[in-house]
Amino acid sequence: MLKACLQTEMASKTKIINLARMSRIFQGTSGSFDSIEKTDIISKSHKLMINCGIIKSLSIGMYALLPLGMRILNKLIDIVDKEMMNIGAQKILLPALTPAALWKKTDRYDSNKTELFTVIDRHKKEYILSPTHEEAICNLISSAGQTVQISTKLLPLKLYQISSKWRDEMKPRLGFLRSREFIMKDLYTFDSSLDNARHTYDLVCESYNNIFRQIGIKYTKSIGDVGTIGGLMSHEYHYMSDIGEDTILQCPSCHFSINQSISKTTSCPECKNELHSYTAAEVGHTFLLDTKYSRPLEAMFMEQNKPTPMVMGCFGLGLSRIITLVVEILSINDEMRWPVKLAPYTVCIISPKAGSKEESTSAYIEQLFEIFYKRNIDTILDDRTHYTIGKRLVFARRLGYPYVIIIGKAATQSIPLFEIHDVNNSTYHELSLEQMNDYFDNISVKD
C-alpha cells in the first residue's frame, strides 16, 4: 500500500516537472504581421494563426503547423478517429504519390491536369502528388483481391486515412482555406450493392454530423455538385463565413439546403418557400460513387463465383480548413477563440511576477496542477515571470485558452483565492482550491 502511494506521488511529481511551459513552446513568430505573405485578401484567421504561432508560412500556399497548431490538429484527429471507430472504419495510410496511369484509366488526368502536382522518376514514370485517393484506394483493393478473393463477408469495407493532399492552386490565399498543401481525412467505402452503399452513405453522413456537433459550431449539410469526382449523389458540409467561396440556398422553414451552383430554382422544392442565400465555406464533402472507379480499376468482390465491381462511396473532411474556419468564426478582434475540445491547452496557469510580493504563492502551482491532472485536463504554465501578470493574461486571451488561472494578490490571503477567467463566456471568479475542484467537476471539458 505504501509502495503504491509512493509510486503515485512520484508519478505526480514527474508530471509537474514535465508540465508544459510557455517559455519552452516554439512559436516561430516575432508577434508582428510583417511575416505574412503578400496576398490580395488576408483573413482574420490567417493573421491570427500566423501571429499567434499556430502556423508558419514557408512558401506561397505552404504552411508549417507549429507545436500549438499540432495540438489543435491532434485533438481534431482524436474526435474523427473515435467517430470512425464507432462505424467500423479502419485507418490506413496510402502513399502520397499515385501513378498517373491510374488517373488516366479513370479519365480524370486531363480534366484536372492544371491543378495537379506531377513528378517524373528516374525511369520516366509519371506520378501525381495526390489531391485525393480514389484511384489509389481502388488499386489497393484490386491488388489485395488478386491475393485473397474478397467475399461479401468483408463488406461493407470502410477504409480511411488522414494525410496531406496537394493542389497546384493558381492563386493561394486565406491560409489553409486555399493552400497548395492541406490536411484531409478521406474515407472510402465498398459495398456489394447500390442499396447497401446508400445505407453506408447515410451511416457515414450521420457520423459526420456527430463530428461537427462535437466541435460545436453551427454547420449546414447541402446537396452538392459531384464535380470532377463524379458519382450519383453528393452532399457538402459548410460553415457560414464571409471568407467562404460557396453560396448555398436554404429554406427557413424545412431547412432544405442546396449549393447555388446546381440549383435551378429560388423556391424550396419541399415547401415552396423562398430560399435564402448564404456565403459559406466547404469543410466536408461526401459522394455516392457507384462503380465509377471500381469498374475501370477492377476493385472486385466475388458474387456467385463471379468478379463483380464494388459500389463505392467517398467522404472527405478538410481538417486544416476546419481549424482555419473555427478561428475565423469564433475569434474576436485580435484574440483567438477555440471550442474547448480543440483548444491547444484547456487551462493556462499564470504564476506571479518574479520579485513581486506575490512570488511566494508560486508554491500553489503544484496544487492547482493536481486539480487538472486528476481530471485529465491539459494544462500549460506561463512561467515567463519577467512579464507582468497583466501582460501574460493578454497573451493567454490572445491564444484563446478557454480557462486562465491567475496566482495573484488574492492568493496571499489567509484562505488563498485564485482568479479564474472563463474566456469563452467572458466570466470571472475568485475561488479557493476547494471551490476550484467543485468548479471543474461541474464543467464539461472532456469527452
With respect to residue 431, please indicate whether it lies within any of the assigned structural domains. Answer: yes
Contact 340, 401 (CB under 8 A): no
Q: How many domains does the chain have?
A: 2
Q: What distance lies between CA 172 and its chain's CA centroid? A: 20
Buried-state track 339-356, b at ≥16 Cβ within 10 A, e below 16: bbbbbbbbbbbbbbbeee
> Which amino acid appears at position 10 of this protein?
M
| pLDDT tens per residue, range 289-348 | 999 999 999 999 988 889 999 999 999 999 999 999 999 999 998 999 999 999 999 999
CATH of the domain at 271: 3.30.930.10
Domain that holds residue 48: 44-330
Give dist(CA 294, CA 138) in Å, integer: 6
Domain shared by 9 and 104, yes or no: no
Q: What is the mean pLDDT of residues 396-420?
A: 96
Residue 8 has pLDDT above 80, yes or no: no
Instruction: Please identify which residue in the block is written with the cell numbers 493552400.
Output: 179
Q: How many CA atoms lie within 13 A of 420 on its CB side?
A: 20
Cell of 114: 492544371
| pLDDT tens per residue, range 99-148 | 999 999 999 999 888 999 999 999 999 999 999 999 999 999 999 876 66
What is the per-residue pLDDT for 15?
56
Domain shared by 21 and 123, yes or no: no
Quote the pTM value: 0.93
Domain shared by 224 and 290, yes or no: yes
- Return all residues near 307 (Cβ < 8 A) that are at least 6 apart: 145, 298, 300, 301
CATH of the domain at 410: 3.40.50.800
Instruction: Please identify which residue in the block is written with the cell numbers 504554465.
Output: 381
Domain shared by 167 and 238, yes or no: yes
What is the per-residue pLDDT for 153?
87
What is the per-residue pLDDT for 129?
97
Confidence of residue 446 (pLDDT cuts 50, 70, 90): low
From residue 221, alpha-carbon distances to 66, 205, 209, 218, 228 in Å are 31, 9, 9, 10, 20
Contact 243, 299 (CB under 8 A): no
Give dist(CA 189, CA 193) in Å, integer: 12
Domain shared by 269 and 151, yes or no: yes
Domain shared by 225 and 254, yes or no: yes
Of 145, 136, 435, residue with least CA distance to 314: 136
Percent of the chain that is helix, strand, coil (3-state, to 5): 35, 30, 35
